[in-house]
Structure 1
Amino acid sequence: MRTLIVTEFITLDGVVDSPGGGQHPRAGWTFKEVPFVEEAYEIKGREQAEAGAMLMGRVSYDEFAPIWPTMAEFAEYNAMPKYVVSSSLTDPEWNNTSVLRSLDDVARLKEGDGGDILVHGSATLAQGLAEAGLVDRYHLLVFPVALGEGKRLFSGREQGTLRLVEHAAYSNGVVKSVFDVVA
């Protein structure tokens, strides 16, 4: 059984919308509003090195696919299997990308062999995965920002208990929190 990890940049008020760019009025809040401290992003390199696959929703796919293949720092992601949960995507162009049509397909993917499955961005997908009980772990970089509105990681319909398994605070106010889902 594979471990499904939701990895997010998140604000103190729970918003995950447009951390690097996008439609939110304060898009890019991770680098526009908080000083860069390299060690705060160590977990991102570790995720890429350890992951066996990347899972995303259609909106994240549409945002990542034109950009990430051109970025040398994402070489491992570009080479690994990628899965998009979408009812409308038919012919993904990003190297080694397959389309899954439902959360049942995600559950089957999880049951297979291979390394961790990382869910990047994709707030709506992350909520659905959590509500279906498919999330095993959360990797959260919590930024000292409050946006007030925008897509949130949790819908309020999730239930369960989380256990903190890794934690660190950085000089720019970012806090790394890694949680295992235990119930």
Structure 2
Amino acid sequence: MRTLIVTEFISLDGVIDSPGGGSHPRAGWTFKDVPFVEEAYALKGSEQLEAGAMLIGRVSYDEFAPVWPTMVDDFAEYNAMPKYVVSSTLSDPEWNNTHVLRSLDEVAKLKEGDGAPIIVHGSATLAKGLAAAGLVDRYHLLVFPVLLGDGKRLFGDGDPYTHLDLVECEAYSNGIIKQVYDVTR
């Protein structure tokens, strides 16, 4: 069975909305408000090398597909690997090696196969749905020292009780904290 990993840039108050750009009033908060420290982002490089597939929601697909394929040096592995978009409306995705899944049941079937981990980027709605369905195995969180107040959150609003085991934790000079948790079942 494949491991499903949700990876997020997250504010201290749990917001994952628009970390690099988007519609949130503080969009781009990951690079506008916190000094860049290269080692704080090492997790993102290792995720790309270790993942066997990427899973995203429709909104994330619409944001990533026009940009990531042009960033050959930064996202070579992601651009080459199979990508799965959970969507009831997307047809004929243009991003290389992209497939559409229509339900979380299809995600569960994908997870049942053999292979490297499936990495989930962005999409609060998808991440919450995966968690509620018991499909998330691990969380990779880069917690930023900012409070955004409002926006899409990774946790809350009736999420099921979930126990997490801390696997890895590291603090960086810019205040970012890497937290890696396994979901305990």
TM-score range, shorter chain: over 0.9
Aligned-pair identity in percent equals 79
Q: For residue 158 of structure 1, report the CA deviation from its aligned partner.
A: 2.4
Q: For residue 140 of structure 1, report the CA deviation from its aligned partner.
A: 0.1
Quote the residue 1:111 is aligned against: 112
Quote the residue 2:147 is aligned against: 146
Task: Tell me, in whole angstroms, the C-alpha distance in 2 between the residues paired with 1:125 and 1:158.
Answer: 15
**Aligned AA (1:151):** K
Quote the residue 2:95 is aligned against: 94
Provide TM-score, normalisation by structure 1: 0.99
Task: Tell me, in whole angstroms, the C-alpha distance in 2 between the residues paired with 1:45 and 1:23.
Answer: 26
Task: Tell me, in whole angstroms, the C-alpha distance in 2 between the residues paired with 1:47 and 1:158.
Answer: 26
SS in 2 for 1:180: strand
Q: Map 1:152-163 onto structure 2 (within 5 A).
A: 152-155=153-156, 156-163=158-165
Structure 2 runs not aligned, ≥5 long: none
Moved over 4 A (4+): none
Q: For residue 122 of structure 1, report the CA deviation from its aligned partner.
A: 0.8
Residue by residue over 1:15-57, the C-alpha shift from the partner in whole angstroms, topping out at 9 and shown as x without a partner, is: 0000000000000000000000000000000000000000000
Task: Tell me, in whole angstroms, the C-alpha distance in 1 between the residues paired with 2:33 and 2:180.
Answer: 23
How many residues matched?
A: 183
Structure 1 runs not aligned, ≥5 long: none
SS in 1 for 2:52: strand
Task: Tell me, in whole angstroms, the C-alpha distance in 1 between the residues paired with 2:147 and 2:159.
Answer: 22
Pairwise CA RMSD: 0.6
Quote the residue 1:121 is aligned against: 122
Q: Map 1:1-183 onto structure 2 (within 5 A).
A: 1-71=1-71, 72-155=73-156, 156-183=158-185
